[in-house]
């Protein structure tokens, strides 16, 4: 197709490509959970719900003082994604991580550490996985960082210390989901040959 025939999709055309909320129980969800370790901002939490819907992950674990739905400020940025993404609240992030380990998940913290891997280098990542993101000012608790299975980071080439938590979550989460989808394709090709 030439670029002259490129048409921006309108609202109805886009929604026609989406899962309707009424059919959400049949959605294919990536085996990925987000764990929010004491995220403070209602707007960041809402944005993380919206991003999680786009990637269609399995759920969110909201921990500690992370605010939970229903809150009008969360809705302002979630735009309804609190209805399509299952969530649970845990009193501490440690409890959420224990529950995730019981479900067999790899615990992956998004944090700059002495041995973080680039989020663009995840080919050997195992699933299910939980992506742990931390507080806007203090990041993920150092004790949790030490005991996680893996630490990843968004490569930073500039002058600033860190990214906004909702943006960093979006970048890393989409890499994880993309990695899972690529692994699925490889597995299907292998199975078809066997």
Nearest approach in angstroms of CB 68 to a copy of itself is 19
Q: Is 163 in the site for a copy of itself (CB under 8 A)?
A: yes
Q: Longest Cα pair distance anywhere in the chain, in angstroms?
A: 55
Question: 56, 59, 92, 128: which one contacts a copy of itself (CB under 8 A)?
Answer: 56
Q: Is 98 in the site for a copy of itself (CB under 8 A)?
A: no
Q: Is 101 in the site for a copy of itself (CB under 8 A)?
A: no
**Closest Cα partner for 130 from 102, 94, 106, 154?**
106
Question: 151, 152, 176, 180: which one contacts a copy of itself (CB under 8 A)?
Answer: 151
Using alpha carbons only, what angle is made at residue 25 by residues 52 and 72, rounded to the nearest 5 degrees? 45
Using alpha carbons only, what angle is made at residue 144 by residues 50 and 95, rounded to the nearest 5 degrees? 70
Quick one: which segment of 24-32, 64-72, 86-94, 184-192 binds a copy of itself (CB under 8 A)?
24-32
**Closest Cα partner for 101 from 129, 139, 126, 61?**
129
Which of the residues 61 through 80 are near a copy of itself (CB under 8 A)?
77, 79-80
Sign for the CA dihedral angle at 38, 106, 183, 18 comes to: negative
Question: 68, 92, 113, 126: which one contacts a copy of itself (CB under 8 A)?
Answer: 113
**Closest Cα partner for 59 from 73, 74, 48?**
48
- Closer CB to a copy of itself, residue 115 or residue 123? 115
Question: 92, 126, 162, 183: which one contacts a copy of itself (CB under 8 A)?
Answer: 162
- Cα radius of gyration (the chain): 18
Q: Is 176 in the site for a copy of itself (CB under 8 A)?
A: no
């Amino acid at each position: 197709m030439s670029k002259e025939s490129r048409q921006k999709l309108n609202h109805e055309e886009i929604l026609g490509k989406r899962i309707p909320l009424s059919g959400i129980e049949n959605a294919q969800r990536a085996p990925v959970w987000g764990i929010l370790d004491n995220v403070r901002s209602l707007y960041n939490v809402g944005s993380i719900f919206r991003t999680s819907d786009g990637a269609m992950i399995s759920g969110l674990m909201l921990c500690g003082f992370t605010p939970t739905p229903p809150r009008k400020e969360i809705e302002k940025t979630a735009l309804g994604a609190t209805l399509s993404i299952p969530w649970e609240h845990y009193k501490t992030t440690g409890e959420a991580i224990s529950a995730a380990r019981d479900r067999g998940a790899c615990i992956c913290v998004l944090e700059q550490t002495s041995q973080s891997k680039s989020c663009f280098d995840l080919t050997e990542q195992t699933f299910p996985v939980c992506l742990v993101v931390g507080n806007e000012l203090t990041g993920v608790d150092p004790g949790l960082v030490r005991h996680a299975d893996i630490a990843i980071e968004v490569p930073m080439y500039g002058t600033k210390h860190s990214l906004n938590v909702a943006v960093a979550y979006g970048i890393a989460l989409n890499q994880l989901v993309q990695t899972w989808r690529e692994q699925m394709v490889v597995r299907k090709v292998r199975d078809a040959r066997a």
